[in-house]
Structure 1
Amino acid sequence: MLTAAAGWKAWLLARGSFPFNADEAIVALMGRHILAGARPTFFYGQAYMGSLDAYLVAAGFALFGPAVWVVRLVQTLLFLGILLSTYAIGARILRSERLGLLAVGLLVFPVVNLTLYTTVSLGGYGEALLIGNLLIWMGLILVERLKEEPAKLEARDAALGAVWGLTAGLGVWANGLSLVYAAPVGLAILAYSVRARIGWTRRGLLWGALISGGVLGAAPFWGYGMTNGWQSLVGELLGSAVAVEGGSWLLRSFNHLVRLVLLGGTATLGFRPPWEVRWLLLPLMPAIFIFWVCVLGYGFKQVKGNHPQSWVWRVLAGVGLTLAAGFVFTSFGIDPSGRYFAPYSILLALAGGGLLDWLYQRRRWWALAALAVVLAYQWGGTLDCALRKPPALTTQFDLQTVIEDGYQEELITFLEEQGETRGYSTYWVAYPLAFLSEERLIFVPRLPYHHDMRYTTRDDRYAPYRERVEANEKIAYITASNPNLDVWLREGFAGLGVEWSEAEIGPYRVYYAFSRAVRPAEVGLGETRGAVETE
């Protein structure tokens, strides 16, 4: 199953089904900069997603050289770790090796949403899923030890608690999404440690190990806060960067709930790609819907039951409910792009593995047939999206920002031949261009990419690039499939009385050979205008 999962991703990558966009380019650039001696704490331009992914990419670059495929290799290896840890939860925590195998089986060809966010790097979502699985696995092993009668707490249990805390702390820094795992599992450890007959000395030893591990694991987070202040750090962790909604908190929460159920639910079950509302393999959808309704019913029964493993299902349900609460009641609910819903795929796979295990014991071939139909649907839905280019499998849920792939090398060649190595562009052009040209071409994102000319200075994420461009007197502008921006630029340049040339390369339009350097502010661009777009 691991070989099949890796082979499926390799085939999709080999045929270019995942466009290389700016978010992923920033991770790749950070990896290159780390090899050169930089030590970034967070994803460039923000303070709520740590640079763990970039350090892993840097390790890949050290072994294989800086290339886009290495970034995807790192994500693929993380996904295989997610599969292995899912099996471990089923076999060790839920006490059924077959349940673990069937859960992994449901994830071999995952839904489009999970395929996307475990292949393309956005800075830590693959890590968050793997860390989350490890927190469940280690945490519930520790709870099992505490549940023993009479409970014994040995040195190895305190060590396990320290490792659990270290992993939880690392997750807080790497990606705040890991908190949806750490909170319910940590609460379970706390509750059972209070109930256990281990004495306050041993209880204090366990708590000290958990806290010490957590503080150490989140050391980059604490260090950044003490150096740069806590307000922006904690604010961004809670969603201040995307807090652009109006209306009352109650109304916002209701809107988030609607997004969770309608947009999140359909993407999680694979009924639509996360970037658009388009139904996938519509004739099979009713059967798949019935299957997942049965899975939810099975899960609810396990949570409400009174069998030896019901407490495990309650903790797993707590993870799902924590994720829902975080989405509904914080500003992150404005973003239904799909990445926040990825943990649900793992939880559903475990519940689905449980249902199929139950059915396998009664009607073996029915269970295998159900697994085959679900896998065929998920495989077919992903293939359907992969064959549609553009956009193929994209993380950009605003399709206006999707740039037709395959023209980057031609663009790089043209700019170098013209000696145009510095200038201005949009977020989705600038950073892929920088990485693919090995940073010979530096264009800072000071132009809007939306057709309504909305822009935020948060797009300009790396100050050293900005300094290089500002110090250069020969500049060019690059746009991509945005006629409104082209009109704005031409009118602005003409109004300044400058001369320039234009070239069209696929979806790109290059403005170059200016009679003098023109900065974006001179044509009314480069400052935040309109609604700030979500990350």
Structure 2
Amino acid sequence: MLAGLWLLLVATLLFRLPALLNARGVHSDAAVVGLQARHMLQGEGSWFLWGAGYQGSFDALITALAFQVAGSSPLVLMLVPLAGHVLVEVLTFDILQKRVGAALGLVATLPVVFTPQAISAVVLYAPRQWSITCIFVGLWLLDGAAASERPLRRYALGALMGPLALYLDLYTLQLMPAFGIFALACCVDAWPGLAGGARRLAATVAGGAVGWLSLQWLRQHAGASASTTHLSLEPLERNARLLWDTCLPWVLGYGVYVPGHHLYPDRWEAPLPFALVQKVGAGLLVLGIIVGGLSLFFRRLPWGARRLGLLGAAVSGAAVGGFLVSSMPADMWSARYLAPIVWFAPFALAPAALWLRTRRFTWAMTPYVLSAAVGGWLSYGLYVDGPLPRLDARGVAQEEMEVARVLREKGVTAGGAHYWLAYRLTFLFEENPVLIPLEPAEDRYPPYREAFDRAKKVAFVFHPSEPRAQPEYLESFLRSIHARYERLEVAGFTVLIHTR
């Protein structure tokens, strides 16, 4: 067991080496977590993430603790969510090895080791991973509750993890139906008579109720924002096209998108032999998930494996169904709403693993794992050169630090950029200077805008990687009002310095 677990962990780190070596390529969403973590170390607290009342501040809190121990760096910021993913792998493997054996559990866990970009983006960049980890902690507690010395405590704590995950990120709302079904399924595991079953059920309901009531109180009294999503049949046709043409292929490994110098990556056209491997792998994975759902009716399999199959299939069904009728899917990045298919695939595959046994199951999993590994590696884009990671890409941030040097020499303490540059650069610049989004609606931390409004000299920073980067419009406006400004070209960035 330990040897297999170490193998999984080593593979996890090696597979994500390109991103780790280029950790300074942090994007603004993750940078906000790092910035808030720095402010927490200065005594500034908040129940929710800056500018996102639907996400708790737990990610910022544990990042602050990590910064306190290892320093405030982009690498540490990346290692925090990666640690949460590693815990997911450990818990998944532990659950599976108890239900299907260590060898089958090892193979079934591979889909969360070699992952497409929709999952890798969460694994490496805050702030979503720890909400997913919270769900897996709950599953682990519930699955092993019956065999533990204090089962009622585990049932209660396991159920409590569901509402806690909702506090961390409302993204986990789509997981709640399957989580609840699994919790009830664990209560009937080897039903110990009416009295024992009632106690299990009561402990589970009590844990979930305490968590839910605490969540409601917190959302009412701590400044949470309401979710804007709604479900209807109106976007069904549009979402179905987006699902079939773009997002589902990306998540299932038969569509690979390679990022370059722009915000939206290009689809990689795989050679025909490998394209066949991709399609076969995706088909076998989907078949395994379907078998997981149907296995509920095959009583020859152990109940522990069947309920795992039900869990994985229910999550996949909820992810696809929710995607089709939700108002949230908009573009290729909406593949993140389908990511639970992969996170829970190991559980869905448990019944198929028992049926096929180790050798046949390994062969059946090979096409998907291979296509996911190749696709996930290529999705690092400029961070890789064939089979090797690169160190000369923007992830090293040499250009960004040159911009910081120039701005400091010019006496600039605040500036503006489009969102995906603003907080990324503010984090890399260690808030000297601070940059705010050009659109006030995208502000995550009002004191930054206050600093911008007070500054006598401000800079506007543009880069071609941001598709809205059009400094000519701003420059034209500055000329029209006869403003004093200086235009600089610094390491691929365009900088307009305006003296008020």
Band of TM-score, shorter chain:
0.7 to 0.9
2:489 alignment partner, SS class: strand
Task: Map 1:318-333; keep pairs closer than 5 Å.
Answer: 318-333=314-329
1:500 alignment partner, SS class: strand
Give the superposition deviation at 1:50. Answer: 1.4
Q: C-alpha distance in 2, partners of 1:360/1:323? A: 28
Instruction: Determine which of 486, 489, 494 is the counterpart of 2:471.
Output: 486
Instruction: Determine which of 205, 218, 222 is the counterpart of 2:217.
Output: 222
Q: C-alpha distance in 2, partners of 1:90/1:192? A: 15
Q: Is the alpha carbon distance of 1:257 and 1:132 closer, same or farther for their aligned partners in structure 2, counting shifts above 3 Å?
A: farther
Asked whether the 8 Å contact 2:28–2:422 carries over to 1, the reply is yes
Give the superposition deviation at 1:17. Answer: 7.4
Q: Is the alpha carbon distance of 1:298 and 1:166 closer, same or farther for their aligned partners in structure 2, counting shifts above 3 Å?
A: closer
Task: Map 1:152-231; keep pairs closer than 5 Å.
Answer: 156-190=150-184, 197-198=194-195, 202=199, 205-207=202-204, 209-215=206-212, 218-219=214-215, 222-228=217-223
The aligned residue for residue 270 of structure 2 is 281
1:278 alignment partner, SS class: strand
Q: C-alpha distance in 1, partners of 2:24/2:280? A: 31
Instruction: Determine which of 73, 78, 83 is the counterpart of 2:79.
Output: 73
Asked whether the 8 Å contact 2:278–2:368 carries over to 1, the reply is yes
Instruction: Give the AA of the match of 1:182.
Output: M
**% same residue:** 21
Q: Is the alpha carbon distance of 1:312 and 1:178 closer, same or farther for their aligned partners in structure 2, counting shifts above 3 Å?
A: same
1:388 alignment partner, SS class: helix
Q: C-alpha distance in 2, partners of 1:259/1:443? A: 34
1:40 alignment partner, SS class: coil
Give the superposition deviation at 1:200. Answer: 9.5
1:47 alignment partner, SS class: strand
Q: Is the alpha carbon distance of 1:486 and 1:261 closer, same or farther for their aligned partners in structure 2, counting shifts above 3 Å?
A: same
Give the superposition deviation at 1:391. Answer: 13
Task: Map 1:392-407; keep pairs closer than 5 Å.
Answer: 406-407=398-399
Q: C-alpha distance in 1, partners of 2:319/2:356? A: 29
1:136 and 2:139 are equivalent in the alignment: yes
1:28 and 2:22 are equivalent in the alignment: no
Q: Deviations over 1:163-190 (max 9, x none)?
A: 1132112101011232333322323444
1:499 and 2:493 are equivalent in the alignment: no
The aligned residue for residue 281 of structure 2 is 291
Aligned residues: 468
Instruction: Give the AA of the match of 2:159.
Output: G
Q: Deviations over 1:269-302 (max 9, x none)?
A: 1223465451363431222322332333343334
Give the superposition deviation at 1:99. Answer: 2.3
Q: C-alpha distance in 1, partners of 2:117/2:200? A: 44
The aligned residue for residue 408 of structure 2 is 416
Asked whether the 8 Å contact 2:417–2:462 carries over to 1, the reply is yes
Q: C-alpha distance in 2, partners of 1:73/1:35? A: 18
1:127 and 2:130 are equivalent in the alignment: yes
The aligned residue for residue 525 of structure 1 is none
Q: C-alpha distance in 1, partners of 2:469/2:18? A: 34
1:477 and 2:460 are equivalent in the alignment: yes
Q: C-alpha distance in 2, partners of 1:347/1:12? A: 25
Instruction: Give the AA of the match of 1:317.
Output: A
Q: Is the alpha carbon distance of 1:302 and 1:223 closer, same or farther for their aligned partners in structure 2, counting shifts above 3 Å?
A: closer
Asked whether the 8 Å contact 1:268–1:342 carries over to 2, the reply is yes
Q: C-alpha distance in 1, partners of 2:352/2:187? A: 31
Give the superposition deviation at 1:352. Answer: 4.7
Q: C-alpha distance in 1, partners of 2:79/2:161? A: 23
Instruction: Determine which of 250, 253, 259 is the counterpart of 2:242.
Output: 259
Give the superposition deviation at 1:350. Answer: 3.8
Q: Is the alpha carbon distance of 1:278 and 1:404 closer, same or farther for their aligned partners in structure 2, counting shifts above 3 Å?
A: farther
Q: Is the alpha carbon distance of 1:484 and 1:167 closer, same or farther for their aligned partners in structure 2, counting shifts above 3 Å?
A: closer
Q: C-alpha distance in 2, partners of 1:438/1:26? A: 12
Instruction: Determine which of 472, 491, 497 is the counterpart of 1:512.
Output: 497
1:286 alignment partner, SS class: helix
User: TM-score normalized by structure 2?
Assistant: 0.83
Which has the higher mean CA deviation after the structures are superposed, 288-297 or 419-428?
288-297
Which has the higher mean CA deviation after the structures are superposed, 319-328 or 457-466?
319-328
Q: Is the alpha carbon distance of 1:141 and 1:367 closer, same or farther for their aligned partners in structure 2, counting shifts above 3 Å?
A: closer
Which has the higher mean CA deviation after the structures are superposed, 485-494 or 30-39?
485-494
Q: C-alpha distance in 1, partners of 2:118/2:286? A: 19
Q: Is the alpha carbon distance of 1:433 and 1:390 closer, same or farther for their aligned partners in structure 2, counting shifts above 3 Å?
A: farther
Task: Map 1:266-415; keep pairs closer than 5 Å.
Answer: 266-273=249-256, 276=265, 278-279=267-268, 281-282=270-271, 283-304=273-294, 305-307=297-299, 308-309=302-303, 310-334=306-330, 336-337=332-333, 338-352=335-349, 355=352, 358-361=355-358, 364=359, 367-369=361-363, 371-388=365-382, 406-415=398-407
Q: Deviations over 1:225-282 (max 9, x none)?
A: 2254xxx73x32x537xx9xxxxx4231332233334323111112234654513634
From the two aligned structures, give the one with the greater strand fraction: 2
User: TM-score normalized by structure 1?
Assistant: 0.78
Instruction: Give the AA of the match of 2:487.
Output: E
Asked whether the 8 Å contact 2:285–2:365 carries over to 1, the reply is no
Q: Which has the higher contact order (CA 8 A, sep 6+)?
A: 2
Q: Is the alpha carbon distance of 1:18 and 1:292 closer, same or farther for their aligned partners in structure 2, counting shifts above 3 Å?
A: farther
Instruction: Give the AA of the match of 2:309.
Output: W
1:476 alignment partner, SS class: strand
Structure 1: segments with no counterpart, 5+ residues? 146-153, 244-248, 393-401, 448-456, 518-535
1:118 alignment partner, SS class: helix
2:43 alignment partner, SS class: coil
Q: Root-mean-square deviation (CA), in Å?
A: 3.3
Asked whether the 8 Å contact 1:161–1:209 carries over to 2, the reply is no
Which has the higher mean CA deviation after the structures are superposed, 183-192 or 159-168?
183-192
Asked whether the 8 Å contact 2:100–2:353 carries over to 1, the reply is no
Q: Is the alpha carbon distance of 1:336 and 1:360 closer, same or farther for their aligned partners in structure 2, counting shifts above 3 Å?
A: same
Asked whether the 8 Å contact 2:414–2:458 carries over to 1, the reply is yes
Q: C-alpha distance in 2, partners of 1:480/1:61? A: 29
